[in-house]
Structure formats: C-alpha cells, structure tokens
C-alpha cells in the first residue's frame, strides 16, 4: 500500500471514530463535566473497538498478528 493510501486509511478510521463520538456529544449522551481525561479514555476505547473488527485482532495467535506485534515493538510504533 502506498504512503498516500496508508495515510488516507488512517484518517478515515479516525474520522469515523471521531464522528461517532461527536454524534454522542450532539445527542447529549456525553456528560457535560467530561474533560480531556474522559475523552482520551473514550477515544482509546473506540479506537480499540474499531481495531477489534480487523482480522489480525481476531486471532492473536496467528502468524500475521505475531509479526504485527513484533514490528510495533521493535520499531517503537
């Protein structure tokens, strides 16, 4: 995948997470007293949930996941 496509994919995934949280804010579901701490946690949870639908995350014993986890570790990603 080209760098351009990689960046576009990352932006699209993050945009979807942000959009869903903003919809919750607009609907009044998010408590008014929440600040950066809660929103950082919510963003982390939603991004994690978004990643769970990926095939790599479904089977953490798979070769592809092990290779992914290793690269994240050794390249400090």
List Cα–Cα distances, 50 to 10, 16, 34, 57, 76, in angstroms.
Answer: 12, 9, 22, 10, 21
Task: Characterise 2 by phi-psi region: left (phi > 0), alpha (psi -120 to 50), beta (else).
Answer: beta
Return averaged pLDDT per consecutive 10 residues of the chain, 77 residues in all: 96 95 96 95 92 77 92 93
Q: Given this model, what pLDDT does residue 53 score?
A: 72
The structure's pTM equals 0.77
Q: Given this model, what pLDDT does residue 59 score?
A: 81
Contact 54, 60 (CB under 8 A): no
Q: Where are the domains of the chain?
A: 3-74
Q: Given this model, what pLDDT does residue 58 score?
A: 77
Taking every pair of Cα atoms in the chain, the longest distance, rounded to a whole number of angstroms, is 44
């Amino acid at each position: 995948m080209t760098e351009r496509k990689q960046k576009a994919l990352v932006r699209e995934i993050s945009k979807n997470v942000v959009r869903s949280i903003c919809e919750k804010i607009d609907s009044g579901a998010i408590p008014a007293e929440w600040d950066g701490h809660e929103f950082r946690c919510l963003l982390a949870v939603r991004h994690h949930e978004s990643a769970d639908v990926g095939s790599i995350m479904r089977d953490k014993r798979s070769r592809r996941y092990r290779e992914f986890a290793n690269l994240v570790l050794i390249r400090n990603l």
